[in-house]
Amino acid sequence: MRIPVPTRRLSTKMTCDFCPGPTRPRRVTEHRYKGRLYVVENVPAEVCSECGVRYFHASTLDMIDRFLESDHPVKGTLQVEVVTL
Ligand SMILES: [Zn+2]
């Protein structure tokens, strides 16, 4: 199942696009694939308190891309299983 990752401008009060739930600012772990898989911790997001959908500001996603494309510190590495159903 694909998880929708809508991108739009965040305001202080936001309602989810997929349910009536309110969103709350959180720090989340996000995955990015840019030729290889990156696990990015501590990403600011608005998270729906009802259904859990995450909303990222476009500037946050740009910042992650710039961070990964530049020389960056690596906290650790993981071995990842790829499975299919
Ligand atoms: Zn929701």
* Domains of the chain and any CATH numbers: 1-70 (3.10.20.860)
Whole-angstrom distance, CA of residue 85 vs CA of residue 8: 32
How far is the centre of ligand 1, averaged over its atoms, from the C-alpha of 34 (Å)? Answer: 28
Q: What is the pTM of this model?
A: 0.77
Task: Please give the distance, rounded to the nearest whole angstrom, from the Cα atom of residue 43 to the centre of ligand 1.
Answer: 19
Q: How far is the CA of 28 from the centre of ligand 1 (A)?
A: 16
pLDDT at 13 exceeding the cut of 90: no
Per-residue pLDDT of 20-51, as tens digits, reads 999 999 999 999 998 899 999 999 999 999 99
C-alpha 77 to ligand 1 mean position (Å): 32
Q: For position 5, what pLDDT does the model report?
A: 58
Rounded to the nearest angstrom, the distance between the alpha carbon of 56 and the centre of ligand 1 is: 14
